[in-house]
Homo-oligomer: A and B are copies of this chain.
């Protein structure tokens, strides 16, 4: 005999990405800001002057791809348990892609899933990690091999954070933007050829177009069955390069840029 379990239904994970100075936000729940030491030293005060919550905690991790591991994810989870976060509590990922991926992953498995929002502080994470819902961590076998698809409730991209971003990191973000334009959007690529990214307005427009380009791809293929795999252009070699150099020599965007050349 057989029992059919009917679980077909409409799921709405839609959300908005705001590209502007950070608005004032109040949360009527417990909130934990997950960040790293570098970002905290530069921008935590600014963040905390804009957000308030029923109860607000800050979890500060070490900075770097080499800390994108189970110990860091456990540090986030442990802090949530210590402060008795429940299923209505909220996480805020405040940092680059490493912080975003780990915070999203912790949110996806804490009590089987709680909400999180992203406030990305690097150009790369603003245009890349903020769209797509990919979360995860590295392990000894490679990058992002353990994780989940977990969409944020909202993303706030404040270009102001980029004023303190090291030149090399800025360039790594530009590499990812170029990748998206080359792969999916000819108009955007032509726009980029003459764009002065040091002009605040043009930078904001560039971020918006990059986000729209990626959003368009992800909307068609949320779980990476086909089209979305094209976003991995440069990533196969890139991951190998990062892994072989133990994430110490190249930034992610740099490794992807080298990977694109190798793939060509």
Contacts and interface: CB of A to CB of B under 8 A. Distances in A.
A13 B3 contact: no
Given A1-B208, A81-B145, A8 B11 contact: yes
Interface string A87-126: 0000000000000000000001111110000000000000
A11 B2 CA distance: 22
A151 interface: yes
Given A110-B146, A113-B149, A131 B5 contact: yes
Contacts of A231: none
A134 interface: yes
A59 interface: no
A208 B113 CA distance: 30
Interface string A1-37: 1111111111111111111100000000000000000
A7 B16 contact: no
Contacts of A16: 2-5
- Is the interface on chain A under 10, 10 to 19, 20 to 34, or 35 or more residues? 35 or more
Contacts of A135: 112
A147 interface: yes
A131 B136 CA distance: 27
Interface stretch (A46-54, A215-223, A252-260): A215-223
A10 B7 contact: no
Contacts of A212: 3
Contact of A109 (B131, B147, B211, B222): B147
Nearest to A205: B1
Nearest to A108: B148
B112 A149 contact: yes
A29 to B, nearest CB: 16
B5 A14 contact: yes
Contacts of A148: 108-109, 112-113, 148
A22 to B, nearest CB: 14
9 contacts: A5-B14, A5-B219, A7-B14, A7-B133, A7-B218, A9-B222, A77-B146, A109-B109, A111-B147
